[in-house]
Amino acid sequence: MIATFDVPRGGPRAAGRAAAGLLLAAVTAGVELVLLAVAALLMAYSMAFSRGRRKVPGAVAEGAELLAELELWRLRVFLGEDRAVRYGPLKALAYLVLRVPVGLLGGVILLLLAYGAAAAVRLAVGWWITGDHLDGIPPTWWIVLYTAVAGVVLLFLAVQGLVGVAAMERSVARRCLGPSPLEEYERRIAQLSVTRAQVVDAVDDERRRIERDLHDGVQQRLVALGMLIGRARRAGDGERAAELLRQAHEESQRALADLREVTWRVYPAALDGEGLRAALETVAERSALPVVIDFDVPGRPPHAVETAAYFVVCEAVTNAAKHSGAASVRVAVAGSATMIGVRIEDDGGGGADPGGGGLAGLARRVAALDGTFTVDSPRGGPTVITAELPCG
């Protein structure tokens, strides 16, 4: 059985979600404790009367896998991280054996927290409302200060205990259900092999596109230019020759513009000299659609990341102008020292095919940097293209 769980987000909501997950973990630990007790009896019976041919009875295997799946769902929703796991009945049972004490420990800490909160409320009510002082001690300022300091220290210890329990929950799941280091290496090698093949394909596609642009665009214009000059040389009439030379001059300007366009699409010089922001601003200026750019990247990311981010934006804006029927495009580039995120949204009709040549090439380019690339383009729009590029 294979499953995945996601990375938890930070903030108060995540803390509340994690606390709810630990409370649920304490409840499921009680259920799993009962299952393990029953499983021990059934497995002992099975080993005694089946002569070792069937180590895990079917009911135990199904129950263990069902509870393991429930725990993975809990980890994914409340605590989890994005990691594929693979397990069978024995691994599921081993996981439950190890996680039950962890879940019960979390439950004990939560009970202590609830007891401490109730005691604090009762103490405050006794001091300042009913006058029923604990142990007959009145609430002088130093008694209140002493109690507050002790309460804060105990609260800090309890919260740290819950953080530790959450870490143990993830660690137990990874060790018991996750792939072994050898499997991780094999998976990584396979991933790198696929990525390398995709990069080779992407480079080959790009080469063919450049050849096509040169053959269908620049080369045709240069041929027309040569013909105009030849006709001008053969024209006996001076006025006719001047007209042909004027057309030849205009054709040379168009050929030069096409050549600049091809050069720009191969690699923009601004990306080297002035950086990603300047290159994207040039994309916006050259676009037939209004393009709004929100750029928030401190410093300069690695050159390969800048290049990939540029081509993602450039291709997405070009597609929006050519195929989507959009009236405007919004580009957001944000990042930190470790990650660059790119998001392009247009207000067109949607329906973009992620398997199309351009978008598939972008996906391969991003995958070569271990990044992620997604296309969300329902019929009727809008189209949202995102890429996340690690910086190291």
Determine the pLDDT at residue 55: 65
Is it the case that residue 82 has pLDDT exceeding 70? no
Is it the case that residue 69 has pLDDT exceeding 90? no
Strand partners, 383: 346
Q: How far apart are CA 231 and CA 290, in angstroms?
A: 43
Is it the case that residue 7 has pLDDT exceeding 70? no
Determine the pLDDT at residue 259: 86
Residue 369 DSSP symbol: T
Q: How far apart are CA 143 and CA 97, in angstroms?
A: 45
Residue 369 CB neighbour total at 10 angstroms: 21
Is it the case that residue 10 has pLDDT exceeding 70? no
Span of 12-16, 24-28, 70-74 with lowest mean pLDDT: 12-16
Q: How far apart are CA 106 and CA 19, in angstroms?
A: 9
Determine the pLDDT at residue 112: 92
pLDDT tens by residue, 311-335: 899 888 888 888 888 889 999 999 8
Angle between helices 58-74 and 12-49 (to 10 degrees): 170
Q: How far apart are CA 318 and CA 248, in angstroms?
A: 30
Q: Are 306 and 300 in contact (CB under 8 A)?
A: yes
Q: How far apart are CA 305 and CA 301, in angstroms?
A: 6
Determine the pLDDT at residue 5: 41
pLDDT tens by residue, 135-162: 777 778 888 898 899 999 999 999 999 9
- DSSP three-state, residue 299: coil
Query: What DSSP string describes 240-287?
Result: HHHHHHHHHHHHHHHHHHHHHHHHHHH--HHHHHT-HHHHHHHHHHH-
Is it the case that residue 81 has pLDDT exceeding 70? no
User: How does residue 2 score in pLDDT terms, banded at 50, 70 and 90?
Assistant: very low
Determine the pLDDT at residue 332: 92
- Which of 274-287 are b and which e, b meaning 16 or more Cβ less than 10 Å from the residue's Cβ? ebbbebbebbbeeb
Closest CA to 69 of 38, 45, 96, 44: 96
Q: How far apart are CA 43 and CA 49, in angstroms?
A: 10
CATH number listed for the domain at residues 184-263? 1.20.5
Q: Are 110 and 26 in contact (CB under 8 A)?
A: yes
Span of 23-32, 264-273, 298-307 with lowest mean pLDDT: 264-273
Percent of the chain surpassing pLDDT 90: 17
Determine the pLDDT at residue 6: 42
User: How does residue 102 score in pLDDT terms, banded at 50, 70 and 90?
Assistant: very high
Q: Would you state the torsion angle of the CA atoms of residues 340, 344, 345, 350, taken in this order, to the nearest 10 degrees?
A: -120
CATH topology of domain 275-390: Heat Shock Protein 90 (3.30.565)
Is it the case that residue 241 has pLDDT exceeding 70? yes
Query: Which of the pair, 381 or 166, is modelled with greater confidence?
Result: 166
Give the containing element (helix H, strand E) for 121. Answer: helix 89-125
Instruction: State the average pLDDT over residues 21-42.
Output: 86
| Tokens matching residue 317 | 């804006």
pLDDT tens by residue, 370-389: 888 999 888 887 899 999 99
| Tokens matching residue 11 | 């903030």
Determine the pLDDT at residue 8: 45
Residue 138 DSSP symbol: -
Query: What DSSP string describes 12-81?
Result: HHHHHHHHHHHHHHHHHHHHHHHHHHHHHHHHHHHHHHSTTS-SS-HHHHHHHHHHHHHHHHHIIIII--
Going from N- to C-terminal start, the domains of the chain cover: 12-178, 184-263, 275-390
Determine the pLDDT at residue 342: 92
CA distances from 172 to 5, 94, 164, 178, 243 (A): 13, 10, 12, 9, 83
Is it the case that residue 298 has pLDDT exceeding 50? yes
Is it the case that residue 1 has pLDDT exceeding 60? no
How high does pLDDT run on average in the chain? 83
CA distances from 305 to 46, 215, 358 (A): 58, 30, 18
Determine the pLDDT at residue 54: 59
Span of 60-69, 98-107, 201-210 with lowest mean pLDDT: 201-210
Instruction: State the average pLDDT over residues 123-135.
Output: 80
